[in-house]
Amino acid sequence: MRHQTTKLHIKLLTPKLTFITMRKIFTVIAFFAIVAFAQAQSGMLDPTFGDGGIVISSITAEYNFGNAIATQADGKIVTSGHTGLPGSYDVAVVRYNDDGSNDNTFGTDGMVVVAATAHSDYALGMAIQPDGKIVLGGYIYGGPSTDVLLIRLNTDGTPDESFGTNGIVITDFGGSIEVAEAIAIQDDGKILLGGDHEDSFMVIRYNTDGTLDNTYGDGGLATANVGAGSCYIKSIAIQDDGKVVAGGMGFNELSNFGFATARFNTDGSLDTGFADDGTKLFNIGQGHDFILGVDFQSDGKIILGGHTWVANQPILQYDFAAIRLNQNGTIDNTFGNQGSATVNITFGSNYVTGMVVQSDDKVVLSGYVVDVEDYDLGIARLTAGGELDSEFGTNGVTRTDIDKKTDNTNAIAIQPDGKIVTAGYTETNDFPQLLVVRYTNEIGGGDPAVEITTGEITNISVEATFTPVDGCATYYALLSTQAEMEMWSTWLGVSIDSLVQMWGIEKTEAYTHLWNEQMPNTEYTLYARPLDTNGMAWPLSTITCTTLTGGGNGLAEMDVQVTDIADSSVRLIATPNDQTAMFFDGLITASYFNEIGEDSAVSVMQNNGYPQYVTDDWVWTGLEPATEYYAIAIGKNALDEWGPATIVAFSTLTVGINDPEESQATMNIFPMPNNGAFTFIAPDNEAGTIRIFNIKGQVVLEQAVSGQQNAIDARNLSRGLYHLQFTSKSKAITVSEKLLIAK
């Protein structure tokens, strides 16, 4: 489309997807996945575990708290925490058989107590190595300072003598507050602890023998400040590339806690390509927000789990919350409601203490809920896209009360068979006791999805391969910027998922596509919308990529060719040299050119707002007959330096002189719409040439046709609205018609 003023002609490039107005807008149909032959509804207490799904353990006769939980490949369950009395707590570890009974091959009657110091010792994080050894992270407190505690046990519960001193490592970096709350083990066996050091994010890396890894951070210690004040890590997770994503909370400028996250490179430095130079602090509400869990979905996107403040009156209110980030740290607005999902189990406080992402990308949040004086366990499961999963519990949530006592969950894990186990405590008699609860849980064998891999990426093109997996029968592939998709989603009132299905290329098998005419140095998202064999749509598969910077550092020069001059139209071909990163071109009447001067005319072209990157072959219409024009093209290089303007003068013809007239004759295109293969019959059985223009006005197909029926094959074109122009061989007839390709 072109826009004409009386004196100046510039391009008005309608966004690439404007043919939506010519298309049927599909409504996303909500659906529920059917799990065949499920033994029990997910989210129910598992009657095969302990006493109706519940196990309560007393390690000592005093306080017993469960802070972490992990599962072994053989189905056994390991919990850790602390036991004893305030001021002299010891680390406690218990291992259970699959039925909830104590594993007597571990420690004494399935229990191990570790007194690392004469003061209070806490284990807040736990991980199991591939060899079955158990690694615990936490801290010691003897007043007034705390130091980091790391413990490794053999598979039978005895201290690992090859690790630290009698299986114990205590680390003091000289600060008064050093606390480890999260743990992760790298593929090479090195151990990562996350927590806080002097009110800052802290990640420590240890070698496999318990010594500090001096190749990481500063002597094994990496720190980061997130926000305007104190910040604390509550969870860490390792990406496939070895980078560490940490989540917790940090103070914002209003002295409220916000969701705080950071990503560290494999050497402990901040990854400046993540979020805001490596860190991100944000809120989804008007008060405190806290992250308690970090995990990844199968496409590498980051899930943050926590809770968000709602109100203080009439009682304190918090909601469960989950947020999804893209791999670059930006909020993924395709998840939940503009990137976040909140869950209210009860009217009161709903606190998340743990989170895990299932193998089918569903998100499980666990914690406890408080209303008036009742403390109960709470779990919610979200679909991969951030909606409450109706197949779990009651409308996606489960609430568990243990004998009307104060109950609390501090950790969650998924067993190899998919069942959910949580660890915390319940108050029975005089002291809290270690509490382990198991819930039924069905995990799909993998929702229909599409694997997306990029091929060659240039400054103006993106190649990608789409491979359907896990029962994906059909899918739709699309490339766009996230901003463009959000704009259209808002304008049309439909989801981004729906846009992909409306505009994407429909395929059933692995497919490679090359998108041309893209913008240089721009981040694009590759989308795929999978459908199963029943035609049900599943969550989007996405990856991001960035086109290269175009042009070179030399002089940007333009070649301009003016051809096919008629009384009201002209064909302008503007071709950049290899040093040109982008250019602008257009027409201006000679009278206006002379009125404002050459410099101003060139400046108008430079600021017309419609940059081009490849040869622009365009037929300008609506010109005045017998009028002198200037065609102007000017480009700039990769250094943003303008080259010289190329200016070509020409005059349109007088009406009736060798000028193709807009004929009243009609041409026939059938079927319409079509899949790109159609029959064309020229008006008056005239031979000539057809040109198909895309919505940017670029010629995408040119073909000579006879005066008879012509089979046209344009199936290489994407679905959408095009403009077909026929010019007779004698140039006595020129007609145009819309062409709608709907694959």
Position 513 scores a pLDDT of 95
49 and 112 together in one domain: yes
Res 610 pLDDT > 70: yes
Res 446: pLDDT: 56
- What confidence category does residue 32 fall into, taking pLDDT thresholds of 50, 70 and 90? very low
Query: Is 176 a member of any domain?
Result: yes
Q: Could you tell me if 50 and 9 lie in one domain?
A: no
Nearest to 554 by CA among 521, 585, 577, 522: 577
- What's the CATH code of the domain at 708? 2.60.40.3080
Q: Is the pLDDT of residue 393 over 90?
A: yes
Q: Is residue 22 one of the residues assigned to a domain? A: no
> What is the structure's pLDDT at 674?
78
Whether residue 631 is found in the same domain as residue 707: no
Report whether 574 contacts 559 (CB < 8 A). Answer: yes
Nearest alpha-carbon partner for 723 in 703, 697, 743, 684: 697
> Of the segments 107-111, 429-433, 708-712, which one has the largest average pLDDT value?
107-111
Instruction: Give the model confidence (pLDDT) of 453-495 as tens digits.
Output: 999 998 889 999 999 987 788 999 999 999 989 988 888 888 8
State which residues form the domain around 153: 43-185+409-441
Q: What percentage of the chain exceeds 90 in pLDDT?
A: 64
CA 672 to chain centre: 38
Residue 359 resides in a domain? no
Residue 419 CA to chain centroid, in angstroms?
Answer: 27
**What pLDDT score does 620 carry?**
85
* Torsion angle of the four alpha carbons 49, 51, 52, 56, in this order, in degrees rounded to the nearest 10: -80
User: Residue 695: its pLDDT value, please?
Assistant: 60
One-letter-per-residue 3-state SS of 146-170: EEEEEEEECCCCCECCCCCECCEEE
Mean pLDDT of 606-624: 83
pLDDT tens for each residue of 80-134? 999 999 999 999 999 999 999 999 999 999 999 999 999 999 999 999 999 999 9
Under the banding of pLDDT at 50, 70 and 90, the label for residue 255 is confident
Is 178 found in the same domain as 73? Answer: yes
265 lies in some domain: no
578 shares a domain with 538 = no
pLDDT of residue 708: 81
* Confidence at 730, pLDDT banded by 50, 70, 90: confident
DSSP notation for 424-437: EEEEETTEEEEEEE
pLDDT-wise least confident of 103-117, 553-567, 582-596, 721-735:
721-735
pLDDT of 38 higher than 50: no
User: For 172-182, what is each residue's pLDDT tens digit?
Assistant: 998 889 999 99
Average pLDDT, the chain: 87
- The reply to whether 533 and 453 lie within a common domain is yes
Could you list the beta-strand ranges (E) of 144-288: 146-153, 168-171, 178-185, 191-197, 200-206, 221-224, 231-238, 244-251, 257-264, 279-282
Same domain for 537 and 577, yes or no, is: no
Q: Choose the weakest-confidence range: 257-266, 369-378, 522-531, 722-731.
A: 722-731
First to last CA, the chain: 23
When pLDDT is cut at 50, 70 and 90, the band that residue 731 belongs to is low
What Å distances lie between residue 109 and 59, 94, 102, 680, CA to CA? 10, 9, 6, 85
Count CA atoms closer than 13 A to 400's CA, side-chain side.
Answer: 29
Adjacent-strand bridge partners of 369:
350, 376
Domain CATH for 576 = 2.60.40.10
Q: Quote the percentage of the chain above a pLDDT of 70.
A: 91
* pLDDT bracket for residue 144 (50, 70, 90): confident
Look at residue 567 and tell me if it is in a domain.
yes
Q: Which pLDDT band holds residue 10 (cuts at 50, 70, 90)?
A: very low
* Domain end residue (candidates: 514, 546, 578): 546
141-145 CB contacts, 8 Å cutoff, 24+ apart: 142/117, 142/118, 143/119, 144/176, 145/175, 145/176, 145/177, 145/178
Residues 58 and 175 in one domain: yes
The verdict on residue 206 lying in a domain is: no
Do 474 and 534 fall into the same domain? yes
Q: Which of 19-23, 399-403, 560-564, 731-735 has the lowest mean pLDDT?
A: 19-23
Q: 251 lies in a domain?
A: no
The confidence score (pLDDT) of residue 613 equals: 87
Find the mean pLDDT for residues 250-256.
Answer: 90
Tens-digit pLDDT profile for residues 313-370: 999 999 999 999 999 999 999 999 999 999 999 999 999 999 999 988 999 999 999 9
pLDDT, tens digit, 9 for 90 and up, residues 490-535? 888 888 988 898 889 999 999 999 998 888 889 999 999 998 776 7
Q: What integer pLDDT is reported at residue 18 of this predicted model?
A: 23
Q: How many structural domains comprise the chain?
A: 4
489 vs 439 pLDDT, higher one: 439
Q: What is the pLDDT of residue 7?
A: 34
Q: Are 162 and 89 within one domain?
A: yes
Omega within 30 of 0 (cis) for the link into 448: no
Among the residue ranges 20-24, 307-311, 520-524, 585-589, the one predicted with the least confidence is: 20-24
Task: Please say if the pLDDT value at position 1 is more than 50.
Answer: no
Angle between helix axes 482-492 and 496-503 (nearest 10 degrees) is 100
Domain limit, last residue, from 627, 651, 675: 651
Residue 371 pLDDT level (bands cut at 50, 70, 90): confident
Domain boundary among 515, 546, 577: 546
- Lowest-pLDDT range, 30-44, 265-279, 590-604, 677-691? 30-44
Q: Is residue 211 part of a domain?
A: no
> Which residue has better confidence, 2 or 426?
426
**Cβ–Cβ < 8 Å for 204, 193:** yes
Same domain (yes/no): 609, 673: no
Q: Which of 124-128, 596-600, 653-657 has the weakest average pLDDT?
A: 653-657
The yes-or-no verdict on residue 413 having pLDDT over 90 is yes
What are phi and psi for residue 424, nearest 5 degrees? -170, -130
If asked whether residues 92 and 129 sit together in one domain, one would say yes
Q: Residue 445: what pLDDT?
A: 54
